[in-house]
Amino acid sequence: MTSFISDWIWSERFWLPENVTWADLERPPPGVEYPRLGDMWYAFPLAVGVFLLRQLFERLVAKPCARILQIQAGVPRRAQPNDVLERVYRSKPSPDTRQLEGLSKQLDWDIRKIQRWFRVRRNQDRPSMQKKFCESMWRFTFYLGIFIYAIRHLWVSPWMWDTRVCWHNYPFQPLSPGQYNYYVAELAFYWSLMFSQFTDIKRKDFMIMLVHHLATIMLITFSYGNNMLRAGTLVMSVHDASDIFLEAAKLANYAKYQRLCDGLFVVFSMVFFLTRLVIYPFWIVNSVLFESWEIVGPYRAWWLLNGLLLVLQALHVIWFYLISQIAIKAIFKGKVSKDERSDIESSSDEEIHSNGSKSPAQTLKPKDSSHTGNLNGETHAH
């Protein structure tokens, strides 16, 4: 039964072009290595290693940097202990008017006092600016390092300059150590993001990012399994490029370098547009859709992989719409203001109005990403 299911999932008719079998890829010529899907299992223990490395990096590198920049962890004011309100808070952090009236009668509290309790309780769960700085510094370091590694590999690769080379003699293309290291590192990073997303700073686009991470993991795994590595390395490097500037802008924001933050965000917007809305669709997706059709011809997995690429492109369009709104504010108002994709944990309108003004932490916001988010929160435009 297990063998039947495995054969059905990894059907040669689905995953490989016509007249190509898994046995063909398992017997490469002497001195040549082809990708084997089993190699991707190494990404799971490596993902654990990436997660642990992140903890060490944040503690030993990012936190000292935050202290040097005088970014304090901060101790939020704690809400008065109340079992009734705590139970309601766990199910609904921002109760509606009807619930507030019911709680007022039950506790014999004024409604404004209950609203104040929930506001303080929400703020109590908000991550500190130092925590946000540490998370962004980790992502900035990873994106910068992996992008430099990818460009060093791709710069001497002919398919970077002529995408038709991606499909010459496909799928019988040799696997280089650089391609393997790049693929496993990216897959491990995205698996670590997939799990840490449930513990990191909460954002309104949680579900979008979940879809993004799933699509990315599937793309990396499937493109490795059927040796679409040349196009895959191009896709990943294009996505890493803009995230470097996004995380850098967030770091500048947390350090209160407003002009640098605004400038970096505008640069990020331009790089995002160039890489995600120009190079990605008109150079890479065009090659996977049309050049591969012409040279190799379509097969069943070809439709799946192109579908995932188009899902990412749809996300790019949504994100750029949000990014452009923030960038326009930065250019014409001289400062990045509230983002359309701010964190769930940030202050609600009710909090802002009741306080009468915004604190500095509520003022400046924009990746993986994606990957649009709040510069004061976690953003992925990836």
Q: Which pLDDT does position 202 carry in this prediction? A: 61
Q: Which pLDDT does position 193 carry in this prediction? A: 85
CB atoms within 10 A of CB 215: 17
pLDDT at 375 over 70: no
Residue 201 confidence class, pLDDT cut points 50, 70, 90: low
| 63 and 117 inside one domain | no
Q: Which range (2-6, 141-145, 162-166, 235-239) has the least confidence? A: 2-6
| 154 and 90 inside one domain | no
Question: What amino acid occupies position 111?
Answer: I
Q: Which pLDDT does position 243 carry in this prediction? A: 92
Domain end marker among 293, 317, 333: 333
| 242 and 321 inside one domain | yes
Range with the largest mean pLDDT of 6-10, 29-33, 126-130: 29-33
Q: Name which of 206, 237, 242, 145 is nearest 377 in CA terms.
A: 206
CA pair distance 319, 380, nearest whole angstrom:
9
Q: Does 5 reside within a domain?
A: no
pLDDT, averaged across the chain: 81
| 187 and 314 inside one domain | yes
Extract the tokens encoding 158: 């002919």
Entry pTM: 0.76
Q: Which pLDDT does position 317 carry in this prediction? A: 93
Residue 355 confidence class, pLDDT cut points 50, 70, 90: very low
Range with the largest mean pLDDT of 57-71, 80-94, 204-218, 355-369: 57-71
Which residue do the tokens 């297990």 mark?
Answer: 2
Q: Name which of 309, 312, 51 is nearest 188 in CA terms.
A: 51
User: Which range of residues forms the domain containing residue 304?
Assistant: 46-68+128-333
Q: Does 234 reside within a domain?
A: yes
Q: Does 200 reside within a domain?
A: yes
CA pair distance 220, 37, nearest whole angstrom:
11
Q: Does 320 reside within a domain?
A: yes
pLDDT at 60 over 50: yes
| 162 and 114 inside one domain | no
Q: Does 354 reside within a domain?
A: no
| 234 and 289 inside one domain | yes
| 112 and 159 inside one domain | no
Q: Does 26 reside within a domain?
A: no
| 214 and 308 inside one domain | yes
Residue positions counted in the chain: 382
The predicted model gives 102-128 an average pLDDT of: 84
Question: Which residues are within 8 A (CB) of 152 and not within 5 positions of it... i.e. 6 or more apart?
Answer: 178
| 109 and 195 inside one domain | no
Give yes or no for a cis peptide into 342 (omega within 30° of 0).
no
Q: Which pLDDT does position 41 carry in this prediction? A: 85
| 95 and 192 inside one domain | no
Q: Compute CA distances 347 → 74, 262, 290, 357, whole Å.
A: 16, 22, 47, 11
- Measure CA of the first residue to CA of the last residue in the chain; give whole Å: 39
Q: Name which of 193, 59, 52 is nearest 130 in CA terms.
A: 59
| 104 and 224 inside one domain | no
Residue 8 confidence class, pLDDT cut points 50, 70, 90: low
Residue 103 confidence class, pLDDT cut points 50, 70, 90: confident
Q: How many domains does the chain have?
A: 2
Q: Which pLDDT does position 295 carry in this prediction? A: 93
The predicted model gives 105-111 an average pLDDT of: 87
| 55 and 148 inside one domain | yes
Domain end marker among 314, 333, 352: 333
CATH (domain of 103):
1.10.10.60
Q: Does 380 reside within a domain?
A: no
Q: Which pLDDT does position 344 carry in this prediction? A: 36
The predicted model gives 339-367 an average pLDDT of: 37
Q: Does 350 reside within a domain?
A: no
Which helix (DSSP H) or strand (DSSP E) does residue 176 occupy? none
Q: Which pLDDT does position 364 carry in this prediction? A: 36
Residue 47 confidence class, pLDDT cut points 50, 70, 90: very high
pLDDT in tens, 141-186: 999 999 999 999 999 999 999 999 999 999 999 999 999 999 999 9
pLDDT at 353 over 70: no
- The answer to whether 182 touches 149, Cβ cutoff 8 Å, is yes
pLDDT at 43 over 70: yes
